[in-house]
Amino acid sequence: MTLEGLLAKTPEPVTAHCCVCGRATTAPVEVRPGHTTCPEHITDALTTAPGANP
């Protein structure tokens, strides 16, 4: 590891928008192709119609 590597800015975490609540999450779960959700809404996303917001 070089000094430049140690001092380099860390990359921003990956974010995605939950298809149920719409908030940005850094721990996205893909429940269907193209549909991501936050961990709290996995069950809701699997039981609702694609693209539907409760």
User: Residue 54: which domain range?
Assistant: 14-54
Count the domains in the chain.
1
Has residue 27 been placed in a domain? yes
pLDDT one-digit tens code per residue, 3-44: 988 899 988 888 899 989 999 998 899 988 888 999 999 998
Give the pLDDT band of residue 51 (cuts 50, 70, 90): low
Per-residue model confidence (pLDDT) at position 49: 60
Q: What are phi and psi of 25, to 5 degrees?
A: -130, 145
Question: Does a structural domain hold residue 38?
Answer: yes
Q: In whole angstroms, how far apart are CA 25 and each of 2, 7, 8, 17, 46?
A: 32, 27, 24, 6, 17
* In-domain check, residue 54: yes
Helical (H) or strand (E) element with 42: helix 42-47
What is residue 17's three-state secondary structure?
strand
Give the pLDDT confidence score for residue 34 in this predicted structure: 86
Whether 52 has a pLDDT exceeding 60, the answer reads no
The per-residue pLDDT for 41 is 92
